[in-house]
Structure 1
Amino acid sequence: MEQTWRWFGPEDAVRLPHIRQTGATGIVTALHHIPYGVVWSIDEIEARKAQIAADPSLGLRWSVVESLPIHESIKIGEGDLTPFFDNYRQSLRNLAQCGILTVCYNFMPVVDWTRTELAYPLPGGGTALRFNMHEYVAFDCFMLQREGAEAEHSPEVIARARAWYERSSEADRRKLLSNIMAGLPGAYDRYDVPGLRLMLDRYRGMDRNRLRENLARFLREVIPTAEEVGIRMCIHPDDPPRSLMGLPRIVSNEDDLAFILGAVDCPANGITLCSGSLGAGPDNNVPAIAQRFASRIWFTHLRNVAKEPDGSFMEADHLGGDTDMVAVVSVLLEEQKRRKEVGAPRWRIPMRPDHGHELLDDVGKPTHPGYPAIGRLKGLAELRGVMTTVAALRNLPL
């Protein structure tokens, strides 16, 4: 597999020479400074490419876009969406003209990946991302005060949430809100509680079927252009794969992925296999999902989570947690072999280590939550060892 690394651009505390030291050669990035719904121009794309390739000795290239974001109006299905679809299609054409042919995106309403703790302490002084169900419920029921929220949670979790809220300070509550908003990358809007309520009001009455249809409409609008210019679109699963704040989530399990791939059944419509996002779903068998959809996996995030009975989970070691990472890697390497044997020109699957622990000298550095250098380097090294061993034992191409 092509070993890649997420880079948030020139302001990222993890610099391009650091990335090369990890052994990764593919860069996964986006033009985070461009607002949602605005065309990515060729000049902007080429400028980012030039930054990545400025030092030829590093041997780095822009391998995957993550993400080309979808304007919220498309998800809601409100107003005249023609300009947003036109702009998205033009961005795809411009990316293809610049030679960047893999585009990761998501369809999560309002918020992106969501955690309640960004620095959960680990033995020895490291930290991890964590989702505490009772803290999320405290936010949903008592800070956001969303109508009907308490009916969606068990009495036991409600009791723990109420206890947390009653003993929390204003600083604790501000921190919880900030943590929940932290999954939105780059310079995008962070909501305060009143602003979040207003955003949720725009989704009032939205159910799974309607949100699914809005996604299917997006796919019908843009996938033909992606197919025409040679781009592989790969949707990222919901993180966590469950409803949040009353918003449906529709990229959470095997049935959801089957619906999405069937909505526009062509190779340009594919998926990002995120073993951590899917792994947070208690009913998801990640190796089985990878096996079923292997031929449409164009990009993969490899990480692991440890789940708890109440719905809480935390980022585990890349080879720890609840998902059999050896089995997942084996499926991906077997799929690469199949692609190579049929003569596919882009047979390698880009992978990146996702959401590393904050370790050693990275503790306290201003990196994006979940994206320190050393924790991801550790994960990449472990995954590289798994890939090398599986490939050798099964005579599979790396």
Structure 2
Amino acid sequence: MRQTWRWFGPKDLTSIDDITQAGAVGVVSALHHVPNGVVWTPEEIAKRHREIATRKDGSPSGLTWDVVESLPVSEDVKKQKGDWREHIANYKVSMRHLAESGIETICYNFMPVLDWTRTDLRWTVPHGGSCMRFDINDFAAFDIHILKRPGAAADFTNAIADEAARRAEAMSEDEKKQLARNVTMGLPGSTESMSLEDVQSHLDEYGAISREQLREHFVSFLEEVVPVAEDLGLRLCCHPDDPPFALLGLPRIMSTAADYKAILDAVDSPANGMTFCTGSLGARPDNDLVAIVEQFAPKIHFLHLRNVKRDTDDVAGSFYEAEHLGGDTDMVAVIAAVIREERRRKDEGRADWQIPMRPDHGQDIMDDLGRRSQPGYPTIGRMKGLAELRGVMTALEHANFGLRYKTEHAGATTPPSELR
């Protein structure tokens, strides 16, 4: 796996120098200052390449811009309203400009209204650090009693609705405002943070959209952009819903293996693929992550490796961001499955045999606690996560002690050999 690091640009508290010292070889970034639906110009793209390639002292960093995360799909496109056709046309132009700059992989998502959603951005864990948390009861308190979405209570069990009412009653006005800010933060690093009025306006625009309608809109988008991506040699990879279940009365359509199968089958192309996020998919207890890797292995273009710890076995339940090897996901088994796929691709002669990965999220520990970095993206916590993941990868790929594999060639089985 190619080890990369997410960077939000020059204002990121983690510098390019820090990334090189952490041992990453590539960078995952985006033009977060460009509004959704607007063309990414060659000049702005080239500027980001230069920023990534240069240390503070002006010397070469040795880092490359490996993955765009994200080239956002606008709400107009998801709703098929307003300027959605113009936004798709602009998306194609941006893709062309990125490809001309050397980019090959573009991550995006198709979550309506809110992208990743958490109720607490700095929840204290037993060792004294902090992490992001999604609490279903707090979210219900937001939905029913702060946003006051019509009919919201019917979307939760009686027990959750009752607990939400109790918590809302106990909250001060400042606590309610903080919860609302946490929930409506939007896409990390973007310029778009939403007020309650913005959220409700989007909900009104979506109306009572069904899963089938939203999926149709997604397929329509892919039918437009995937052929362009294939011509340009780009790999598009959709990030799963986070969390992977319906919120705010709107469906989410990229939460399970069945969801991915529907989309990847609908527009079958090497350019249409998956961002495999162990944290997002792992928040649902009914998702078998190793099985998902094995099912979609040829279409996995990008990896987010993080772990979550679930409070219960409820599909729509509470969870927090655990240490990378410490949550409910068997990260060793997942990495082993990915390594097997990389070896298969290499044997097949695929140029993209090495899949870019990044240590996704991380707990705030040590000096992170005073930095107030982008929520979920502390420097030391992610470096710790990368070190743990790198240790697993190194062990599994060790020439003498590592994973053994088998590949099939023309109906004959190659004898097991050691990964090198």
TM-score (norm 2): 0.93
Show the counterpart of 2:193.
190
After superposition, where does 1:356-371 map in structure 2 within 5 Å?
Answer: 356-371=362-377
CA distance in 1 between partners of 2:303 and 2:212 (Å): 27
- Spell out, residue by residue over 1:334-377, the C-alpha distance to the aligned partner (whole angstroms, 9 max, x if none): 11101111111221000000110000011031310000011101
SS at 1:58 equivalent: coil
Q: State how far apart, in whole Å, the 2-side matches of 1:343 and 1:380 are.
A: 28
Contact 1:102 1:232 in 2 (8 A): yes
Partner of 2:341: 335
Distance change in 2, residues 1:170/1:324 (3 Å): same
How far the C-alpha of 1:195 sits from its partner, in A, is 2.5
Paired position in structure 2 for 1:121? 124
Query: 1:370-389 maps to which residues of 2 (within 5 A)?
Result: 370-389=376-395
Report the residue type matching 1:170 in the other structure.
Answer: E
The partner residue of 1:394 within 403, 415, 419 is 403
Q: 2:366 and 2:186 mapped to 1: Cα distance?
A: 23
Contact 1:93 1:229 in 2 (8 A): yes
Aligned pairs for 1:346-357 (under 5 A) are 346-357=352-363
For 2:328 and 2:294, the matched residues in 1 are separated by 17
Distance between the aligned counterparts of 1:182 and 1:170, measured in 2? 18
Corresponding residue SS for 2:68: strand
Residues 148-199 of structure 1 deviation map (CA, whole Å, 9 limit, x = unaligned): 2111111111111111100101100110011112242234332222222111
C-alpha distance in structure 1 between counterparts of 2:153 and 2:419, whole Å: 51
Read off the aligned partner of 2:325 and give its amino acid letter: L
**Match for residue 167 of structure 2 among 154, 164, 167:** 164
Once the two structures are TM-superposed, the CA of residue 96 in structure 1 deviates from its matched residue by 0.5
Question: Contact 2:186 / 2:194 at 8 angstroms: preserved in 1?
Answer: no
* Secondary structure class of the residue paired with 1:363: helix
| Counterpart position of 1:16 | 16
Task: Show the 5 A alignment for 1:174-323.
Answer: 174-309=177-312, 311-323=317-329
- The higher relative CO (CA closer than 8 Å, separation ≥ 6) is in 1
Letter in 1 for 2:234: I
Deviations 1:47-66 (A, max 9, x none): 10011112454210000000
**Larger deviation, residues 86-95 vs 305-314:** 305-314
Deviation at 1:397, TM superposition (A): 5.2
The answer for unaligned runs of 5 or more in structure 2 is: 405-417
- Sequence identity (%): 51
Residue among 140, 154, 158 paired with 2:157: 154
**1:24-35 matches, cutoff 5 A:** 24-35=24-35
Q: Distance in 1 between matches of 2:117 and 2:373?
A: 17
Of 133, 138, 154, the match for 1:135: 138
Q: Give the 5 Å matches for 1:28-67.
A: 28-55=28-55, 57-67=60-70
Deviates more, 1:388-397 or 1:294-303: 388-397
Deviations 1:20-79 (A, max 9, x none): 111101100000010101111111111100111124542100000000001111100114
The answer on whether the counterparts of 2:16 and 2:54 sit within 8 Å (CA) in structure 1 is: no
Alpha carbons of structure 1 residues 237 and 94: separation in structure 2 relative to 1, 3 Å? same
Cα deviation per residue 1:71-98 (whole Å; 9 max; x = unaligned)? Answer: 1111001145331111111111111100
RMSD: 1.3
Question: 1:261, CA displacement in angstroms?
Answer: 0.5
Q: Secondary structure at the match of 2:397?
A: helix
Q: Write the letter of the residue equivalent to 1:394.
A: L
For residues 377 and 182 of structure 1, the distance between their equivalents in structure 2, rounded to whole angstroms, comes to 24
Aligned residues: 398
The alpha-carbon deviation at position 394 of structure 1 amounts to 1.8
Moved more, 149-158 or 207-216: 149-158
Letter in 2 for 1:243: A
For residues 81 and 121 of structure 1, do their structure 2 counterparts lie closer, same or farther at Cα, with a shift above 3 Å needed?
closer
Q: Distance in 2 between matches of 1:382 and 1:79?
A: 46
Structure 1 residues 67-76 or 309-318, which shifts more?
309-318
